[in-house]
Structure formats: C-alpha cells, structure tokens
Amino acid sequence: MSKRKGGKRGLTPRAEDFSAWYNEVVQQAELADYSPVRGSMVIRPWGYGIWENMQRALDDMFKATGHQNAYFPLLIPMSFIEREKEHVEGFKPELAVVTHAGGKELDEPYVVRPTSETIIYAMYAKWVQSYRDLPLLLNQWGNVMRWELRTRLFLRTSEFLWQEGHTAHATAEEAEDEARMILGVYRRFMEEWIAMPPLTGLKSEAEKFAGAVRSYACEALMQDRKALQAGTSHMLGQNFARQFGLTFQNEEGREEYAWNTSWGVSTRLVGGMVMTHGDDVGLVVPPKLAPTQVMVVPIARGDDQAAAVMKKGDEIVEGLRGQGVRAAIDRRLHMSPGAKFFEWERKGVPVRVELGPRDLARGEAVVAVRVNEDGAPRKEAMSDAQVVAGMNDRLDALQARLLEAAIARREAATHRGEVSSVDELGELLDSGAGFVHSGWSGDPDVEARVKDATRATIRVIPGEEFRSASAPARCVGGGSAQMEVVWARAY
Amino acid sequence: MSKRKGGKRGLTPRAEDFSAWYNEVVQQAELADYSPVRGSMVIRPWGYGIWENMQRALDDMFKATGHQNAYFPLLIPMSFIEREKEHVEGFKPELAVVTHAGGKELDEPYVVRPTSETIIYAMYAKWVQSYRDLPLLLNQWGNVMRWELRTRLFLRTSEFLWQEGHTAHATAEEAEDEARMILGVYRRFMEEWIAMPPLTGLKSEAEKFAGAVRSYACEALMQDRKALQAGTSHMLGQNFARQFGLTFQNEEGREEYAWNTSWGVSTRLVGGMVMTHGDDVGLVVPPKLAPTQVMVVPIARGDDQAAAVMKKGDEIVEGLRGQGVRAAIDRRLHMSPGAKFFEWERKGVPVRVELGPRDLARGEAVVAVRVNEDGAPRKEAMSDAQVVAGMNDRLDALQARLLEAAIARREAATHRGEVSSVDELGELLDSGAGFVHSGWSGDPDVEARVKDATRATIRVIPGEEFRSASAPARCVGGGSAQMEVVWARAY
C-alpha cells in the first residue's frame, strides 16, 4: 500500500516497464488495492467514483435505447450451466462452486455466476408466451466470478463488476440488429466518455463467446500497443432458447424459439482508461469521468491567511458547481500545497486551481490543466471570473484532446495493407505495430499458427468503417484472402 | 407466473389473508418472481426501478453526509468470519460456502459475504495509519447471502441487495454520533421517500447485531400490525478493530484501536412499501419512488382516432417531462383501455391520464389518482393545460397523503402506558394492537417469557421522541421498570 511505503516515491516510467507502471499507478492513485481474497481486488473510492460515472452514462444510453434493469440470482444451479454444451466448456474451468449452505452439504451444487445467460433465459421462458411479449430487453448491473490464475487489478480479477444485457426477439434479424446496435452504443460510450477509441468488428470462431453464434467486440489499443477487449456483444441465435424452452407463439399461432443477444462491459474499462491516458506523472482521468473535475488547493501560512484563502476558494467552488462542474476544495491542514499538487496530479484530476494570498490580492488564481497540447501539464494565472466562466470549455477541450491523442496513437501504431507471411507479421509487431491488418483465408489453422509464432490473435474482422481502402488480396498464411482481419497482441 | 394463470384474477383481500395478498401483489404487480434457485428471487423491472429510486435518494443522502462508495470482495475467507466470536455465532448457520474453484478443492473455504465487516476492517487496517486518516466513511452497494429456511419475496430471501456503510473513527463519541446520525438519515428517508414512518430506538441485548456493542433500528408498522425491521445502525465499539488490527497513531503518537460503525438497509424496504400502502386493488407506489409517476392511456377506435389521440398523449407526456415528472404513454395496441387501467392500478402507478377522442374534442383529459382522501381512486376531467400544470402538486399531495395515512394507522395501532402483565400484553396484541409500549426491568428472562407467551419481541427501546408522556413505572414481567420498551410481533 502506497502510504506505508511512502506516498512520494516516483513511478516506474512507462517506457521502462509498462506493466510495473500500471500496477503502481492503480495503487498510488488509490483506484484499487489487492485484497486478502485470492484474485479479488478492492475498488477504492476514487476508482469506484469513476466506475459510477461510467455506469450512469451507460445506463442512460441503455434506457434511451429501450432497455430496463432487473436483477437475477447470484447462484446458478450446476445443471443449468451444463445445459448449453459450448457454454459449459468455456466456463467450467473458471467456476467457483458453492457446495455447502445453511450448515449442510447441498444436493446440487451452485456456481457463482460467471455470466447469467442460463438463469436469465430460464426466467424468460417463464415470462414470454407470445410475440407480444417480445422484444424483452433487460440489463443487469452486478458482480460475476471467473476463477483466474493470473490476475491484474481491473484487467483480470476473479470477481469483477459489470453489466450484462440479455434480450429476446421474435426474429433473427431483430436480434442481429440489437447486437450491432449495442456494439455501436459501446463504441460511442468509449469514444465520448473514456476518450478511448475502439476498433469494432466481428470475432473469429476461435475467439467468440462460449455459446454464441456471432460475437462482436470493441478492441482498444493501449499505450504499450497491446489490444484490450473492452466490450462484447453477442448474437446467441436460438442456442439458449432451445436449452431453456424459451418459446413464443408467433402471429400465426405457431410455437417458435426466441432469438437472444447478450452483451457486457466491466470494471476492466477502468484499466483501459488508465492504460490509454496515464503518463509518467500518474493517472489522467477524462473530465467526463472524473469524480472531481476541479480541485481547488489553497496556499496559506497562518490562520488569518488560511481563512481568507479558504473563503475565496469556497466561492470559486460554489461558482463552478453552479455551472455543473464537479469541484471540491482540499482543506487538509497537515499537508503542504506541494504534496497536494503531487497527489491530485497522480490521481489525474483534470484541472487544479491554486489559490494563494498573492493571487487573492490580485483577484487571480492559477489554473493547472493536467494535460495540454504538448501532453504536459501547464499553469496559467487568470482572474477568478475567468477561472469559473471558462471552466466548462477548458474541460471540454481536455476531453477532446485526450480523444484526439488516443486516435493519433492508434493510427500511428496501425499497419494497413498486405502482410505476406507470418514472419512479416511477427516483425511488424516486434517493431512497434499495434494493430496489423492483413488478409485471411478463414482457416483456423492459420490463426493458430500465427498465435504460436507471434502471440498475436485476430482481434476483429473489422466493421466497414475500419477496413482498409483496398481489401488485402492474400492471406497472411499463404493463398488468397477471404476477408480482412486485424491482429494484435492482447491483454 | 401471473400471465400463465390469467392476469385478471382478483387479489385475495388483505382482511382475508394478508400473507396471501402480499405474495399475489408482489407477483401480479411484477415486482419480483420466484427463481429456480432456492430462496433467491428475481427482481423484475418495475420492482428494480423502485429500488433504483431508493438507491439514488439514499446515495445522495450518504454523500451529503460525507460518505463515499467503494467495493469489497464477495468472498470472505472462512477464518475472517470466525475471528469475532459473537459475529460468527450469529452468522454461521446461514453461510453459503465456496469449497471448490478453478476445478480444484480450495485449501481454505470462502463464505459468500453475509455482511462485510470482517473483510472491510481488514482493509481499513491496511489503509489507516494515523488519526489524520480518520474518520474513514465508506459505503458499499451490493449483494449478500444468508441461507434462510423460510423465505418471502423481498422480506427474507437467501440473496438480497443492500447497502452497508462501514466507518472508522478516532473516538467512541464520534462513532456513537455517526451511528445515531445514520439512524436519523434512515428515518428521514423512510418518511420522506417511502412514506413509511418508523419508530426508532435501541435494540435490546438479545436483539442486537452479532458483534455490535449497540444496535439502533427503524421499525415500521405494516397494515397487518406486524413490525418490520427496516434498517439498522450499529455502534461496533472496538470489537472488530481488535480482531483485525485496525489501529491508528493518535495526536500524541500513541497507537490506539479505532472505533467502528456499520449500518444497512436492503431490498426488504420494497416489501415494506408494499405492506404499508397496498390495497385490495393492488400496489400503491409513493410518487417519489414510482419509476413511472404518470401513465397516459390513449383510448381510440381505428387508426385515424388512434393517431390523433397518440399525438395529444405525446404532447401531454412531453409537457409533464418538461416539469420533471416521470411520464410515459402506453402504446400497446392489442390491449383494451380497461385492461390497461387495471394493469397500472395493480402496479400502483400514482396517476393515470385517460385520453379519448371525446376528451380530445373538448381539449380535456381525465386524471385518475391512485389514492385519494377517502383511500379510493378518483377520476376528474380537466383541461390539458391543467393536467400538466397541476401534476407536481397532485403528486406531492399524494405523497403527503400516504405518509399521513401511515402515521394515523400506526398511532391507531399503538398502545401507550402501563401494561401490568404478560397476559395483558398478549391480549392487547390479540385485540389489534401493533406497537405496545410498556415498562421493562431490563431482565432478559422477561423478554424470553414474553416471546414464548405472545410471539412478540422488544422492537426498540424507543428514542426520546417516541417515548410515552409519562414513563411506565412497572415492568411487564412484574417489579419496577428500568426503561420503556416497545413490543410487537414482527416479520
């Protein structure tokens, strides 16, 4: 824990060891901490506040597209999980199992939900009778558990928080449209809120969700040029409907199986935010997600000065809040201003306002924006009125700048066009490419060969807007291409 | 499920069988449903929407009193739970235990959290070094599990959703103040939002939380004159701090144990809302909690009429939303207006607006308020403009009316003053008293004797504002009283 070890030690630079940098930033910014429970983390208030802002934004988007929230049981009977063959194969190795409860051994064990398709579609089967009950568009916010051997804070933990949408439709087309619509919602959310621009497209058969017909994904490029699967949306076909008897009477009175989709994003997004925007000073939180967007730090010696500076600071906070800015003042008396600057920079607060007795005398304050055009912090003195009046524009500009910078980084690290061999693909990745587009025959053996040789996998078969201007003609494994794919090493 | 059995059957009247009425209302209003997981329920969108409104209101109140949210692991090592002696005695019989994970038997089993004191104070011990780190005021929204033998939707389920606040303080006084302050927050929330006025006070030793020094509680009286423990706030003393090494350096540099509080309310509050306000027609949702406060039901024959009526309905919805009212229009074409009226009454929507072609011609609409001064629904025709302009007042008046009625019911069912024997107490309860005040010597044997003879328990040692004008002099079990207590049969 950072405090025990002394809060002021520097971070490992990203260029030296990105993974060490990541762990240090997450802990020193007090986003999360390790827990005594193997593979589970504790999300601390600063990290949880970011997640709450993500939740609220996504929840509004889900509701605006006709979805409602509901809550289903944490425990799932083992027999439910085992019913869909591919589903159980995918999840069985990661299950946590409740075998005893109420002081007795259970007749049938329960698993702690790794995902809720089975229990949810069992309930839908009870609720849906006719085409008039469709579409059924529900979402659940909750915790899930997948027993992971190698864990990383936010990126891969045994327990994580997420949302899982589950829908039932009368036709395959409607379900397909839903899965794609949600993919678009996720992309828009990641761009507009996290300033983390993902590539979107279809997963290959080898990479799709256990139990899905088709999986769509958002893949974002981190600063170490590894891809992060940041959200997925699945067309489940009638796979689960058949196993759980989810049928409906169609308009002609015939019984049919419903068509399902499921989709989710998780607290992993917080990790993606860290690896997209953080720098060697610490975290950078996009203004739209920051629990505190503006932190006022008073500078004063002695009680009289302190009282005057605090009063003005409170006025600025008040003025900012009146404009809808999440502003606060750091009243701690036992810390030096320098230590406070350092703490809020490390925590990635978008804007800091410094206010000392001399500023007060001039009717000014100093505005320090966490990241400027050159990527570094910058300070500027201005009148109190300007501090308040210009703040929303300042935050909007920062938000936009972070997105532009992330797009530029992604484009700079993207190789488009022909890649003639697996070796060439490996060389591109080793020499700094993140996303490498190539042709692919569709042969899973080529996919396996690339993975063995380069550790890269097909992240997506890109959607139209992400395809190269001219489609690659050759498969990276030899022969002619059937489609374009994007390779990357991934988290 | 209601649909399979035909949605239009009547409810069992409350007077005939309150418990049957409750189960029917919860299911027919689509608040919740039984699940295939023993003792766990599914919270459906209408019920979850009410819970979301409760969450938002409480969360704002917690934040306004200086608390932040965080998230701690679902699983707790068995050895943690066993560390505080009274705590494990209280919870052991109800634990669900994970013995296997990742395909292997675990070296040490984990319990699914029944409450999180142990894991949270273990983390606080890591974070808190000095008095400057105190107070630490965190809250968690999440799910917990207590394996219950006899379950009731919302009131007692193996898994439930709740919030649990956990705080650490430098002094006993501060912790005591926090526990009482939160009790006041809970009381205010229950009165202002649920219109469910609780009695507040201290629990007896026999009824306090396992591991607490003192437990405070909110006890609300249901329509069947049984009490519902609706929220608790505990002063934990240093019990957990000692077991988990939660110490801090005080201002003089000496190491001390911190003082803790914990407090929670759960989805049980939804059940309390049902039993406080529901009637023989169905649910009544207080306007502040209703996911939809006003439902516009268009009445039309044929497409031309329908289009005109829908257009006007949309305008009314738009106007209402512009005033901050949660309004919607029921566009379903396959249902008769009567069936819709019935559905929204059963679901307890506070106000229904009926809009037919004749109303349209007159520039009018019919406003139906779910509960009026006489306790029954009433309809009134008025101009469109009045529908919109008067809605917030109409909703506020309904909210106030529900609280007044609940207070009146509670007072009518409260017996104050001397009760000279256990037999007399039993007779009072049998003849319709809900809360019975009496004197008590403080002897736990008297408490046990009353419970055996009457099934009533001490709900609270009432706080000042709930005590009788003159304190009872005699203990209900004989001899002189040391304090006033309130007895009731309880959920």
pLDDT tens for each residue of A119-143: 999 999 999 999 999 999 999 999 9
| B323 lies in the same domain as B458 | no
The answer to whether the CB of A283 falls within 8 A of the CB of A31 is yes
| B310 lies in the same domain as B383 | yes
CB contact under 8 A, A69 and B75: no
Q: Is A49 near chain B, with CB under 8 Å?
A: yes
The answer to whether the CB of A431 falls within 8 A of the CB of A449 is no
Q: What is the CATH number of the domain that holds B187?
A: 3.30.930.10
The answer to whether the CB of A309 falls within 8 A of the CB of A360 is yes
- Hey, what are A401's tokens? 């700048």
Amino acid present at A154: F
Cα B150 to Cα A283: distance, rounded to the nearest angstrom = 49
Res. B7 pLDDT band, cuts 50 70 90: very low
Res. A303 pLDDT band, cuts 50 70 90: confident
Q: For residue B64, give its domain range.
A: 18-277
CB contact under 8 A, B3 and A129: yes
Q: How many CB pairs under 8 A join A and B?
A: 172
Contacts of A42 in chain B (CB under 8 A): 70-73, 123
Res. B304 pLDDT band, cuts 50 70 90: confident
The domain boundary residue, chosen from B219, B248, B277:
B277
First CA to last CA distance, chain A: 25
- Hey, what are A479's tokens? 């022969």
Q: Is the pLDDT of residue A8 over 60?
A: no
CB contact under 8 A, A112 and B45: no
Res. A9 pLDDT band, cuts 50 70 90: low
| B346 lies in the same domain as B432 | no
pLDDT in tens, B231-259: 999 999 999 999 999 999 999 999 999 99
pLDDT in tens, A374-420: 877 789 999 999 999 999 999 999 999 999 999 999 999 999 988 99
Mean pLDDT across the stretch B122-140? 98
Q: Is the pLDDT of residue A294 over 70?
A: yes
Say if A407 falls within a structural domain. no
Q: CA-nearest residue of chain A to B40?
A: A73
Q: Is the pLDDT of residue A422 over 50?
A: yes
Cα B66 to Cα B80: distance, rounded to the nearest angstrom = 28
Say if B115 falls within a structural domain. yes
| A469 lies in the same domain as A378 | no
Q: Is B407 near chain A, with CB under 8 Å?
A: no
| A200 lies in the same domain as A222 | yes
Question: At B115, phi and psi to the nearest 5?
Answer: 180, 160
Q: Is B48 near chain A, with CB under 8 Å?
A: yes
Q: In a mutagenesis test of the B interface, which of A34, A37, A266 is the best target, namely the one with the most B β-carbons within 10 Å?
A: A37
Residues 409-448 of A with CB under 8 A from B: none
Q: What is the CATH number of the domain that holds B418?
A: 3.30.110.30
- This prediction's pTM: 0.96
Amino acid present at A246: L
| B226 lies in the same domain as B291 | no
- Label residues B461-486 b or e (16+ Cβ within 10 Å = b): bbbeebbbeeebebbbbeeebebbbb
Say if A479 falls within a structural domain. yes
Cα B352 to Cα B234: distance, rounded to the nearest angstrom = 42
Residue with tokens 């997640």: A51
In chain B, pLDDT over 90 holds for what percent of residues? 92
The domain boundary residue, chosen from B217, B248, B277:
B277
What secondary structure does DSSP assign to A130-163, as a single string? BGGG--EEEEEEEEEE---SS-BTTTB-SEEEEE
Q: How many CB atoms lie within 10 A of CB A418?
A: 16
In chain A, pLDDT over 70 holds for what percent of residues? 98
Cα B236 to Cα B124: distance, rounded to the nearest angstrom = 15
pLDDT in tens, A431-456: 999 999 999 999 999 999 999 999 99
Say if B407 falls within a structural domain. no
What pLDDT shows up at residue A141?
A: 98
The complex's ipTM works out to: 0.96
Q: Is the pLDDT of residue A2 over 70?
A: no
CB contact under 8 A, A45 and B142: no
Q: Is the pLDDT of residue B82 over 60?
A: yes
Q: Is B136 near chain A, with CB under 8 Å?
A: no
CB contact under 8 A, A70 and B52: no
Q: CA-nearest residue of chain A to B101?
A: A96
Res. B2 pLDDT band, cuts 50 70 90: very low
Res. A187 pLDDT band, cuts 50 70 90: very high
When divided into structural domains, chain A yields a total of 3
Say if A405 falls within a structural domain. no
A172 min Cα distance to partner chain B (Å): 23
Q: Is A101 near chain B, with CB under 8 Å?
A: yes
B111 min Cα distance to partner chain A (Å): 9
Say if B57 falls within a structural domain. yes
| B418 lies in the same domain as B295 | no
Q: Is the pLDDT of residue A96 over 60?
A: yes
Q: CA-nearest residue of chain A to B27?
A: A127
What pLDDT shows up at residue B378?
A: 83
Mean pLDDT across the stretch A190-217? 97
Q: Is A145 near chain B, with CB under 8 Å?
A: yes
Which residues on neighbouring strands pair with residue A234, listed in sequence order?
Answer: A215, A262
Q: Is B69 near chain A, with CB under 8 Å?
A: yes
Mean pLDDT across the stretch B413-440? 95
| B26 lies in the same domain as B145 | yes
CB contact under 8 A, A49 and B69: yes
Say if B404 falls within a structural domain. no
| B249 lies in the same domain as B158 | yes
Q: Is A132 near chain B, with CB under 8 Å?
A: yes
| B233 lies in the same domain as B348 | no
The domain boundary residue, chosen from B231, B255, B277:
B277
Sheet containing strand B259-266, edge to edge, reads B68-69, B136-145, B159-169, B259-266, B227-237, B214-221, B199-202, B457-462, B483-488, B435-440, B414-415
| B339 lies in the same domain as B430 | no
Say if B3 falls within a structural domain. no
Res. A302 pLDDT band, cuts 50 70 90: confident
Helix (H, G, I), strand (E, B) or coil at A126: helix
Contacts of A158 in chain B (CB under 8 A): 101
Nearest one of B204, B169, B225 to B415, comparing CA atoms:
B225
CB contact under 8 A, B1 and A126: yes
pLDDT in tens, B34-63: 999 989 999 999 999 999 999 999 999 999
| B77 lies in the same domain as B182 | yes
